[in-house]
Chain A
Amino acid sequence: AQKVTQAQTEISVVEKEDVTLDCVYETRDTTYYLFWYKQPPSGELVFLIRRNSFDEQNEISGRYSWNFQKSTSSFNFTITASQVVDSAVYFCALTPYNNNDMRFGAGTRLTVKP
């Protein structure tokens, strides 16, 4: 069975600090996809990134970066120089390739204080 664990329930930082959100997953599949979604206070879900299991390259997009390590089954998300607008709940998710059974972690609530 698939499982995604986001052990950090809540994180609070001061603006401009760097913060890393952890995501650990379990799957028996060799081919799978990992995702990060952002849910701001308004409630909608915003797609941030998709990574397939064969691509372990780290990715950077502006202040956001992702570190995928198959050896530790982790897909961590780092926000550099955090801003108040980054305050949201962040979800990590996993799905097998060609399967529709997406499993979400419980989410990490990030609060960035000015």
Chain B
Amino acid sequence: NAGVTQTPKFRVLKTGQSMTLLCAQDMNHEYMYWYRQDPGMGLRLIHYSVGEGTTAKGEVPDGYNVSRLKKQNFLLGLESAAPSQTSVYFCASRGGLADYNEQFFGPGTRLTVL
């Protein structure tokens, strides 16, 4: 039982390049989330998904796209990376319908855009 995993752990991009971050969970959770963490700002929600085939915008969605083609995977894409997207990206998942359970977080991906 690996929990929530993220690929890759580190990445360096040049401005304008594209990339996809992969999040996978093996807990059969319905809900999945992508956050970014910047110094002094805590975590901010980028996009989330309430189930396979569904996605929704969070607090800071601009410049990112997501897809949830399989229940266990949640992909975060950057079509044209910008230096402002340098951050640590965390994926999370949670189960539960009637009650709000805690989110389980992945280890994070450190992205640098030059």
- How many A-B Cβ pairs are below 8 Å? 52
Q: Is the CB of A91 within 8 A of B102?
A: no
Q: Is the CB of A100 within 8 A of B33?
A: yes
Q: Which residues, 29 to 46 on A, are CB-close (under 8 Å) to B?
A: 33, 35, 37, 43-45
Q: Give the Cβ gap from A27 to chain B, nearest Cβ, in Å.
A: 14
Q: Give the Cβ gap from B42 to chain A, nearest Cβ, in Å.
A: 4
Complex Cα distance, B103 from A33, in Å, reads 12
Q: Give the Cβ gap from A39 to chain B, nearest Cβ, in Å.
A: 9
Complex Cα distance, B92 from A93, in Å, reads 14
Q: Most chain-B CB neighbours within 10 Å: which of A43, A93, A98?
A: A43
Q: Give the Cβ gap from B87 to chain A, nearest Cβ, in Å.
A: 13
Q: Is the CB of B107 within 8 A of A44?
A: yes
Q: Is the CB of A100 within 8 A of B31?
A: yes
Stretch from A59-67, A77-85, A103-111 that touches the partner: A103-111
Residues of A within 8 A of B103 (CB): 47, 102
Q: Give the Cβ gap from B40 to chain A, nearest Cβ, in Å.
A: 6
Stretch from B12-20, B21-29, B43-51, B70-78 that touches the partner: B43-51
Closest Cβ neighbor of A33 among chain B residues: B100
Complex Cα distance, B58 from A98, in Å, reads 15
Q: Is the CB of B50 within 8 A of A104?
A: no
Q: Is the CB of B43 within 8 A of A43?
A: no
Categorize the interface residue count of chain A. Answer: 20 to 34
Q: Is the CB of B42 within 8 A of A97?
A: no
Q: Most chain-B CB neighbours within 10 Å: which of A4, A6, A44?
A: A44
Q: Is the CB of A91 within 8 A of B43?
A: yes
Q: Give the Cβ gap from A70 to chain B, nearest Cβ, in Å.
A: 17
Closest Cβ neighbor of B42 among chain A residues: A104
Residues of A within 8 A of B43 (CB): 45, 91, 93, 104
Residues of A within 8 A of B58 (CB): 100-101
Residues of B within 8 A of A102 (CB): 33, 45, 103
Q: Does A95 lie at the interface of the complex (its beta carbon under 8 Å from any beta carbon of B)?
A: yes
Query: Which one, B31, B44, B56, B102, contacts A104 given CB within 8 A?
Result: B44
Complex Cα distance, B45 from A4, in Å, reads 14
